[in-house]
Amino acid sequence: MQNQLLITKKEDMYLSAWAEDGRIRQIQADSLESKAVLGNIYVGKVRNVVKNINAAFIEFQKGQMGYLSLNDCKHPIHTDAVIRNDDRVLIGDEIIVQVEKEAVKTKPPTLSAKLDFSGKYIVLSVGGERVSVSRKIRDKEVRQHLHELLEPCIDNTTFGIIARTNSSKANDEELLAETQHLMKRCQDLIHTGRHRTKFSCLYQAPSGYLGSIRDLYEDKIQDVVTDSLEVYEQIQNFLKENAWEDKLHLSLWKEENGKFDAVYDLSKTLDKALKQRVWLKSGAYLVIQPTEALVSIDVNTGKAISKKKDVEKTFLKVNLEAAKEIAIQLRLRNLSGMILVDFIDLHQEKYKEELLDRFRKELSKDPVPAQLIDMTKLGLVEITRKKIRKPLVEQMQSIHSKKERPLQQ
């Protein structure tokens, strides 16, 4: 199996799966009924300002509240409905905000007054005022070149630029053209947005699978395959609009090649990703339990130590296997926030260091920032992973609740 993005349309959802190195590494489920708000830009109404946490609660859709931290809200963009000579955010103000994180469990969506416009190579940020380069680009010469190329673009502007991982594969003309395109789009949106009324949606982010195509790493996934003619045509139009036809190979699955779902094990992988227990080849297994505050992962020996003489080395081997699988499961299930891993106890310090080094290496492969903090005195390994989208299990619960709602009325 090549590295591919696989997209299928089921009864109540679009299912996107990233296949890398012959295995599905990530799954995303999007409802057919409702459009996601992640990345959307709105004119919001400030309903409350809580000084002790320095935050505002903003109604960005009618009846939908969002959380805005005022710590990073240096230059909010007020609409013409507000007469303001300073950068304060007060109750009753109307400001332009972007949904930065989806609602997770009981927490409302997180909003930002610093607007981001994403391209394939560049992210343009209003109020950033500097050039940053993706940490995944480690070549010093490439980093230096990107700085020198892009810094003149933001002279005497209020924009910031982030060079994405893909920018290392693009030529200068492509980077500068995309930067200018994003700047114009941003300026037009702000100009229009100042005159719009509250709850207006100024920008609708691409649907889940289209956003996935935009965010693909060109050096990892170049093929997009779908068995839906509707999805195929939408992707085809999206690639033409962004002049990316030569960047990705799009193909429509042929029925004579077998059932799309069965060939790529989409449903089977999804079902496994929703279960708590994950079996390892050694006979050990993981127990993954998301809670309100954190995600706990327990590594169990299972059948792995049967008839083994050197138990400590066996524990290390199982832990190394578990570390690799946990990194995969975090991405597959989109688990984020605080994560605690209870590996099998190791007594030798050199084994502990080997385990932590391997775990850091596996986590570094994740496109979403994931960081290994430390091992506690109790032997628990602490990880943080950036929250962006809902975990897979919540995506599925949300889709199913929408489907079942009419039956409950």
Separation between Cα atoms, residue 177 and residue 116, nearest integer Å = 17
% helix / strand / coil in the chain, to the nearest 5? Answer: 35, 30, 35
The number of CA neighbours under 13 Å toward the Cβ of 316 is 16
Output the DSSP codes for 268-314: HHHHHHTSSEEE-TTS-EEEEEE-SS-EEEEEE-TTTTTT-S-HHHH
* Whether residue 184 has pLDDT greater than 50: yes
Percent of the residues in the chain that have a pLDDT greater than 90, as a whole number: 53
CATH assignment of 4-35+205-268, among 3.30.410, 3.30.1240, 3.30.420, 3.90.25:
3.30.420
Of 118-122, 163-167, 203-207, 337-341, give the range with the top mean pLDDT: 337-341
Query: For the chain, what's the residue count?
Result: 409
Domain boundaries, the chain: 4-35+205-268, 41-204, 274-385
Topology of domain 274-385, per CATH?
A: Aminopeptidase (3.40.630)
Binned at pLDDT 50, 70 and 90, residue 307 comes out as low
| Angle (nearest 5°) at CA 147 between 123 and 170 | 60
Binned at pLDDT 50, 70 and 90, residue 218 comes out as low
Separation between Cα atoms, residue 336 and residue 338, nearest integer Å = 6
Residue bearing tokens 């042929």: 254
* Whether residue 67 has pLDDT greater than 70: yes
**Residue 75: Cβ within 10 Å count:** 12
3-class secondary structure, 42: strand
3-class secondary structure, 235: helix
Residue type, 362: E
pLDDT average, residue stretch 185-189: 92
* Whether residue 49 has pLDDT greater than 80: yes
Separation between Cα atoms, residue 386 and residue 365, nearest integer Å = 14
* Whether residue 403 has pLDDT greater than 60: no
Tens digit of each residue's pLDDT (9 = 90 or more) over 133-161: 988 888 999 999 999 999 998 877 788 99
